[in-house]
Amino acid sequence: MAAEVYYQAIGTLQSHSYLNNLNNHQKHQNNLVRLVARDFISSNGLSTRRSNRSGQRNCCVIQSLASQTSVVDPVLSPSRSNIGDTHKKSNEAALILIRHGESLWNEKNLFTGCVDVPLSKKGIDEAIEAGQRISSIPVDVIFTSALIRAQMTAMLAMTQHRRGKQVPIFMHNESEQARSWSQVFSEDTKKQSIPVIAAWQLNERMYGELQGLNKQETADRYGKEQVHEWRRSYDIPPPNGESLEMCAERAVAYFRDQIEPQLLSGKNVMISAHGNSLRSIIMYLDKLTSQEVISLELSTGIPMLYIFKEGRFIRRGSPIGPSEAGVYAYTRRLALYKQKLDDMFQ
């Protein structure tokens, strides 16, 4: 008999907490659940029918055509970690995306774009909480934008990680001198570090002449619809700024050229970036259309986990907390990593 699984019951998929659309929250939540379900289904050879049971509007019922719907993968030891494993080539890796915590300009409701503004007090707390949520997920390499709010978020989050001796270290490759002056001369110390790579290509989309303007005042002046078009349409740029499409050209190209090879080699990657650079990357990962991406909203400081496996990205939601069992059941590799951390810190 075919097994029936409610989408929300697969581990603890928390896509809804990742979304923060103030006006159409529920509608977008349903859309995203459908989109994620569609991807899950296509990557698992399943078919769908919509539940008509009351109270389950968000649940896309997945009916397995196969005899099982297990999300547990073959045994693979965790990739390089501080707990004594050697780095093994693997076709599976974790990918964590985090939009930076609230910045001082988010707090003031100002268009920020490429202006380099730090986190607010609330943003600092959000980054620390994000770190707690992912503290038992392996991270081998970190990519951040060149902007301080994304870098603060990554570093604050990593202060919460249970990684033991590993230390995140910014790579300075901007010149030969920077490279040479930041060299590490101990192989052991190198093994105990997590490279942090800052790339301008992951920066927030450049907001042109809107940078520094108040979002509400701009809507009052130019009209809500015009401002919504500037903020969320795919291919309409704000005055002298980048459209999401333009932002995607550099952010997705960077992801494909620099980040995918890391995942392919089995390294677990964290990316700390921005609302729009991440929307463009998620559009690529989840194969969203230019219509679908309009309703994709990301909250500040909420991490999202993907599993990269056999060339596919499988969205696994946002871990609620470090001990959330469901997240670690996604793959045996994650479960083993967490188990080793638990044993170490007993």
Ligand X SMILES: O=C(O)[C@@H](CO)OP(=O)(O)O
* Binding stretches for ligand X (CB under 6 A): 106, 111-113, 204, 207, 231, 275-276
- With beta carbons less than 8 A apart as the criterion, state whether 211 and 113 touch: yes
- With beta carbons less than 8 A apart as the criterion, state whether 277 and 202 touch: yes
166 Rama sector, left if φ>0, alpha if ψ -120 to 50, beta otherwise: beta
Binding-site residues sit at 99-106, 112-113, 149, 204-207, 215, 231-232, 275-276
Q: Which CB atom, from 103 or from 318, has the smaller least distance to ligand X?
A: 103
Q: Is the dihedral of CA 277, 151, 93, 328 positive or negative?
A: negative
Give the bridge partners for 315, in sequence order. Answer: 306
Which of 126, 204, 297, 324 does the annotation list as catalytic?
Answer: 204
Which H or E run contains 223?
Answer: none
Q: Which CB atom, from 113 or from 303, has the smaller least distance to ligand X?
A: 113
The end-to-end CA distance of the chain, in Å, is 42
Q: How far is the CB of 207 from ligand X (least distance, A)?
A: 5
Between CA 33 and CA 50 the distance in angstroms is 12
Note the maximum CA span of the chain: 65
Q: Which CB atom, from 262 or from 280, has the smaller least distance to ligand X?
A: 280
Q: Is the dihedral of CA 158, 162, 254, 235 positive or negative?
A: negative
Does the active-site annotation cover 87? no
Q: Which CB atom, from 38 or from 215, has the smaller least distance to ligand X?
A: 215
Does the active-site annotation cover 324? no
Strand, coil or helix: what is 82?
A: coil
Q: How far is the CB of 118 from ligand X (least distance, A)?
A: 14
Between CA 253 and CA 276 the distance in angstroms is 15
Binding-site residues for substrate sit at 99-106, 112-113, 149, 204-207, 215, 231-232, 275-276
Which of 100, 161, 242, 274 does the annotation list as catalytic?
Answer: 100
Residue nearest to ligand X (CB): 112
Q: How far is the CB of 159 from ligand X (least distance, A)?
A: 24
Q: How far is the CB of 214 from ligand X (least distance, A)?
A: 11
Q: Which CB atom, from 238 or from 266, has the smaller least distance to ligand X?
A: 238
Between CA 335 and CA 343 the distance in angstroms is 12
Q: How far is the CB of 129 from ligand X (least distance, A)?
A: 19
φ and ψ at residue 316, rounded to 5 degrees: -120, 10
- As annotated, the active-site residues are 100, 204
